[in-house]
């Protein structure tokens, strides 16, 4: 008796699944869509505690972070996809440690990168250290034609004396321009972020999109073409467009 009821339940469930399929199931009859994925490697460097991991995590996980991140030991990896249509660029954000004992590992990851993102916060010591980071990267594996982006983290939670920090992000930006106007051809590319606020990293995401577009136009990328079946559900299309797979 129980076996017959169980069989009827299974057959009814299968019939319902066939008649009313879930909206996000893969349709085998959908033609394969060719997606050209261009990969751009960007390495994040800077002193320890300036907000590299918090910023990269805010972009990748689309969440707000204030503090509580453990210091990076070695390297962390945060990919983010940008672009429209069948051509997308996956920006590989390699979040490196700012601690001295890991500098050899940090510099090793510069090999083959298309860009470096040098982080600082409002502390004067960390702003001045950006020169050392840029010089160290150039002396090691950084390609001569790699792009350089400076990021100022406006959220500086660590307590410090007023004389040890800049009053505003604008003051820190002015100092960065003084430090690097002779080291970089043209005007230094600088943007500000605040991973403790919603959408506080949108400006950096836009800069990464521009950076990816420049690399694509100049032929600085890796390329991985592949075919997949699109999912029927609209949300799945959105996730696919955002590179969440």
Task: Count Cβ atoms below 10 Å from residue 165 Cβ, excluding itself.
Answer: 19
Residue 121, pLDDT score = 93
Question: Domain extents for the chain?
Answer: 33-224
Residue 16, pLDDT score = 46
Nearest to 212 by CA among 102, 81, 108: 81
Is residue 189 within 8 A of residue 121, CB to CB? The reply is: no
CA distance 102 to 78: 19
Task: Count Cα neighbours of 157 within 13 Å in the Cβ-side half-sphere.
Answer: 12
pTM for this entry: 0.75
Residue 222, pLDDT score = 84
Residue 182, pLDDT score = 77
Question: pLDDT 10s per residue in the chain (245 long)?
Answer: 545 655 555 555 554 444 444 444 444 454 554 556 789 999 999 999 898 988 998 888 877 765 666 777 778 889 988 875 566 788 999 999 988 888 888 999 999 899 999 999 999 999 999 999 999 999 988 888 899 999 999 987 666 777 888 989 999 999 999 988 877 656 789 999 988 887 888 889 899 988 888 888 888 888 765 433 333 333 333 333 344 33
Helix then strand count (H, E) for the chain reads 7, 7
Q: What's phi and psi for 174, nearest 5 deg?
A: -60, -40
Task: Count Cα neighbours of 3 within 13 Å in the Cβ-side half-sphere.
Answer: 0
Residue 223, pLDDT score = 77
**Nearby residues of 233 by Cβ (< 8 Å), 6 or more positions away:** 23, 24, 25
Architecture of domain 33-224: 3-Layer(aba) Sandwich (3.40)
Tokens matching residue 106: 């940090």
């Amino acid at each position: 008796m129980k076996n017959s009821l169980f069989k009827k339940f299974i057959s009814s469930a299968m019939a319902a699944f066939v008649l009313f399929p879930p909206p996000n199931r893969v349709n085998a009859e959908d033609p394969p869509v060719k997606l050209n994925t261009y990969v751009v490697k960007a390495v994040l460097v800077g002193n320890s505690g300036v907000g590299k991991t918090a910023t990269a995590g805010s972009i990748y996980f689309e969440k707000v972070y204030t503090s509580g991140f453990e210091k990076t030991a070695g390297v962390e990896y945060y990919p983010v996809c940008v672009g429209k249509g069948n051509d997308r660029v996956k920006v590989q954000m390699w979040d490196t440690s700012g601690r001295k004992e890991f500098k050899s590992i940090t510099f090793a990851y510069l090999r083959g990168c298309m860009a470096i993102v040098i982080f600082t916060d409002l502390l004067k010591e960390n702003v001045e250290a950006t020169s050392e980071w840029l010089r160290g990267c150039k002396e090691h594996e950084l390609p001569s034609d790699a792009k350089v982006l400076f990021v100022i983290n406006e959220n500086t939670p660590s307590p410090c004396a007023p004389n040890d920090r800049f009053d505003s992000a604008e003051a820190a930006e002015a100092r960065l321009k003084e430090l690097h106007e002779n080291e970089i051809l043209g005007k230094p590319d600088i943007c500000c972020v605040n991973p403790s606020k919603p959408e506080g990293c949108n400006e950096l995401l836009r800069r990464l999109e521009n950076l990816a577009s420049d690399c694509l136009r100049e032929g600085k990328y890796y390329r991985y073409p592949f075919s997949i079946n699109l999912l029927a559900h609209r949300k799945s299309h959105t996730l696919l467009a955002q590179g969440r797979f």
